[in-house]
Amino acid sequence: MSAARRRGLAAAALAALAAGGLALVLLGGDEDGPAPARTTHAHGGPGPVVVNLAPSTAGDPAASPEAEAAAVASDAVLVPGVALLDLEPLVDAALRFTAGARRVEVVTGRGGVFGAGLPPGDWTVEAPGLPDVEQVVCDMTSFSVPAALARAVAAPPPRLGSRAYPRPTLRVVGPDGAGADATPRRITVRPGGALLLRFEAPWVLEAQVVDALTGAPLPGATATAELQEPYQRRIVATAGADGALRLVAPRTYAEAGPAATFEAPGYAAAMTVMGARDERLRVGLRRPLRLEARVRGHDGRPVQAAVTAWARLPDAATGGRSRADRSWSVTCDAEGRFVLDDLPPGAGNHAGEGAGPHAAVVSLLVVHADHARTRLQRVLVAPDGPPLEVALVPLVPLVGRVVGPAGQPLGGAEVRTYDQTPRPEQSDVTDAQGRFALADVPARSIVLQASRIGFATARVAVTPPVEDVVLRLEEVGPPLRGRVVLPGGEPVVGVGVVATVDEGDAREEHGPAVVRHHARTDDAGAFSIDGAPAGRTFLVRAAGRGFDVHARGVVAGGEPVTLRLPPAQDLVVTVEAAGAETALVTVLDADGGRVLDDRARRQGGTLLATSSVPASGRLGVVLRASGFAPALRWFDAPPGQTVAMTVPLEAGGGVVALRVRWPQGAAPALRVAYRDPALGLRLEETFSPPSVADLPLRLVGVGEGAVRLELEARLGERTWPLAPVEAVVRAGETTTIDLDLAAAPGDDPPR
């Protein structure tokens, strides 16, 4: 169709729409909201566009010379209409109507208005300039029922109701407010009819799929979108020679686009969410990881154990949606070997801490009938990493006695064992002679707990096998009472208070055999601790973010103790680190001493940490995250104020993994001190039992460069230094160091 003929049709349509009583009003924003952002197809004129769609009462517009000249055939009928794209007027867009061999083209004008000379019958419609759009065609068969068009505009289907940008308000005014809903279908042209053509922009994803390490394109990679209601089908796009692909999916009822899964042979899958994007995404796929390990018994022989591994999947494997765990189950072969394949890179442990883009952290549970269950909470799996050696410990019997304050046997006391988890593993009840017997106890450091009504709970750490264990219970004394207040005397509500028996050595309170008695302050800041043994003095502590106050020598039933908190302030740290789900936050005082440790976590899409810190003048904040270089910010801490800061993290930094080997028995605590090459600050990390034995300990977010690690191990009262270790940290890499704590020079720890 020529341009002159199209202009003639448009002129005839506008003449027909100019007279009448029913008007379609297109406004620029929500009814009571602001105007929408300008889009490529939105009309640019000021004010609303009013389009009259009612029949003229002043005469037949089709009888005018303009309408007659615009007719494409003797049987054509002038059909007025409006075209919309995502509920925005579609301006200066070509529309093509086809019926068999007949084709009619028109161009929409201001407000999306058009007029087409179409013979009556069934037609299909398309917009050649919008190849990806889907169309919903609303056909009003007669001007005598204008509410059909009115309701189609005013009440769009639910799947058109949510958009990432403001949509215009559409109103229809006219004398008739009733009528049937229009339904999406092919258009049917009838004399006196009008058309509302509503097009929808689909979800479009343009991406280039590459190898995450080399950047090389991956031809043949696929992107798959699983569509839900109302489509229930799969859409697949395949990458070309340059790794580029284009995935187009229709709109669904969901507010967000469907999740697209990227896959390539030999690579772990990655996911993202489809949406309206103008730029091409670069999707890096990583090789799946493989963990090889060998399980040995206490005698060094291989065992055929059952192994279960689990990990927290990274965002790359969940499309940024709800995170989920994944588990793997295998059985060792006759040589005690097992292999875990297809571990997703970036997977983390249950604490949510990721392992970086090219490694994974998994938790292992090894079960064998003749050996104790062994849990390895954090196992670092890196590309081309060395095989993991898992040593099981045997099960042995354990017998003992529970006695009272004067040494008399106590029957009916409950004895429980605690091994590698906070939950009890086994239990028994003492007989009349106060004896108990546990059949299968792991031959490693465990904690025994004995309790009986009227007596204070007692705990002791033992390493079976032992000949006999005696747990002495003391009578319960009066409660420990006190208050926790602010510097001005105001009560502190809901703070936790812990009391332990004060033996004169502050370090013993961290030992595995210490019994802690807990309470929480009420609305008046008061607390009362029951169940503590009589005739003893206690260390009472109130600890939290930024404060740690305590009182020694507190006597049960004596004068209430007052714990006065130091002046404090609130600290809010927003971390800008794309792809990081967590970050370590360390607050230092002006001398570089550690004040507190915290963790920034995702909250509503923002990586955020909130703490209460002492108002002690100048403080520093060190932020570290896996895959990012560390950052340092200093600030002043005035009391009673909130300090908010935003800290961007730059890509870089590395990870130092310490693979610790320790003989059978209680594991020591390990203190690691180093001067970060990027910050120039001395930082420390302490890892406490039972996390040390045979586990890789990780220092994340270490600056690039040479690092000297100063190591110290502590077991009970014994402390011994280890030889310093030199390491070179590289960006995005994990440096693994093997430590054999049993070979400490000059002081062999017990076996």
DSSP character string of 13-61:
HHHHHHSSS-EEEE-SS-TTSPPPPP-TTS--SSS-EEEE-SPPSS--G
Q: In what order do the strands lie in the sheet with 480-485?
A: 526-529, 480-485, 561-564
* 332-359 tens-digit pLDDT: 999 999 998 888 887 776 554 556 667 7
Q: Choose among 153, 57, 137: nearest CA to 98.
A: 137
| For residue 174, pLDDT beyond 80 | no
Asked whether 71 and 117 are in contact (CB, 8 A), the reply is yes
| For residue 328, pLDDT beyond 80 | yes
* CA distance linking residue 252 with residue 230, whole number of Å: 7
568-648 carries CATH number 2.60.40.10: yes
* 638-661 tens-digit pLDDT: 777 788 899 999 888 888 888 777
| For residue 102, pLDDT beyond 90 | no
Bridge-based pairing of strands 49-52 and 194-200 is unpaired
| For residue 473, pLDDT beyond 50 | yes
Asked whether 162 and 96 are in contact (CB, 8 A), the reply is no
| For residue 198, pLDDT beyond 50 | yes
pLDDT for the residue numbered 565: 85
Alpha-carbon distances of 157 from 83, 198, 226, 462, rounded to whole Å: 16, 11, 21, 69
Contacts of 144 (CB under 8 A, 6+ apart): 192
Q: Choose among 650, 587, 633, 575: nearest CA to 614.
A: 587
Residue with the two structure tokens 């729409």? 17
- 184 pLDDT band, cuts 50/70/90, is very low
pLDDT for the residue numbered 527: 94
Q: Which two tokens stand for residue 277?
A: 């994007």
- 613 pLDDT band, cuts 50/70/90, is confident
Lowest mean pLDDT among 217-226, 406-415, 513-522, 596-605: 596-605
| For residue 99, pLDDT beyond 50 | yes
* 143-165 tens-digit pLDDT: 334 444 444 444 444 333 333 33
Alpha-carbon distances of 423 from 100, 400, 418, 426, 430, rounded to whole Å: 76, 21, 6, 9, 20
Give the CATH architecture of domain 654-743.
Sandwich (2.60)
pLDDT for the residue numbered 9: 39
* 404-422 tens-digit pLDDT: 998 999 999 999 998 877 7
Q: Choose among 751, 750, 643, 732: nearest CA to 346.
A: 732
Q: Is 336 helix (H, G, I), strand (E, B) or coil?
A: coil
Asked whether 201 and 85 are in contact (CB, 8 A), the reply is yes
What percentage of the chain exceeds 90 in pLDDT?
A: 20
480-564 carries CATH number 2.60.40.1120: yes
Q: How far does Cα 484 stand from its chain's mean position?
A: 36
Q: Choose among 619, 625, 617, 574: nearest CA to 596.
A: 619
| For residue 20, pLDDT beyond 50 | no
Give the E-state strand segments of 297-423 in sequence order. 306-312, 325-331, 337-343, 360-368, 371-381, 388-391, 395-403, 414-418
| For residue 57, pLDDT beyond 50 | no
Class of domain 395-472 as given by CATH: mainly beta
Alpha-carbon distances of 122 from 98, 146, 185, 435, rounded to whole Å: 9, 20, 10, 94
* CA distance linking residue 470 with residue 154, whole number of Å: 81
Class of domain 204-285 as given by CATH: mainly beta
- Look at phi and psi of residue 605 and say left if phi exceeds 0, alpha if psi is from -120 to 50, else beta: left
Q: Choose among 264, 154, 156, 150: nearest CA to 216.
A: 264
pLDDT for the residue numbered 606: 83
pLDDT for the residue numbered 415: 94
| For residue 52, pLDDT beyond 90 | no
pLDDT for the residue numbered 79: 78
Asked whether 262 and 278 are in contact (CB, 8 A), the reply is no
pLDDT for the residue numbered 659: 78
* 536-574 tens-digit pLDDT: 889 999 877 667 788 888 888 888 999 988 887 888 899
- Residues 103, 104, 107, 110: is their CA dihedral positive or negative? negative
Asked whether 115 and 13 are in contact (CB, 8 A), the reply is yes
Please name every residue paired with 33 in a beta bridge, in sequence order, or none if there are none.
none
Would you tell me how many other CB atoms lie within 10 Å of the CB of residue 605?
7
Which alpha helices (H) appear in 89-245, and where do they start and end? 147-154
Query: Which of 267-271, 274-278, 628-632, 732-736 is modeled with the greatest confidence?
Result: 628-632
| For residue 55, pLDDT beyond 80 | no
| For residue 500, pLDDT beyond 80 | yes
Average of per-residue pLDDT across 118-129: 82
pLDDT for the residue numbered 525: 92
User: Apex CA 280: angle with CA 279 and CA 283, to 5°?
Assistant: 135
- 29 pLDDT band, cuts 50/70/90, is very low
pLDDT for the residue numbered 53: 41
* CA distance linking residue 304 with residue 336, whole number of Å: 5
Q: Is 11 helix (H, G, I), strand (E, B) or coil?
A: helix
Q: Where in the chain is the domain with CATH 2.60.40.1120?
A: 289-391, 395-472, 480-564
- 202 pLDDT band, cuts 50/70/90, is confident
* CA distance linking residue 363 with residue 348, whole number of Å: 9
* 265-323 tens-digit pLDDT: 988 888 887 765 555 788 888 888 888 999 998 888 999 999 888 887 766 666 555 45
Please name every residue paired with 687 in a beta bridge, in sequence order, or none if there are none.
670
pLDDT for the residue numbered 319: 55
Average of per-residue pLDDT across 33-59: 33
DSSP class per residue in 470-509: EEE--BB-PPEEEEEE-TTS-B--S-EEEEEE--S-GGGG
* CA distance linking residue 161 with residue 173, whole number of Å: 21
Per-chain mean pLDDT for the chain:
75
289-391 carries CATH number 2.60.40.1180: no
Q: Where in the chain is the domain with CATH 2.60.40.10?
A: 204-285, 568-648, 654-743
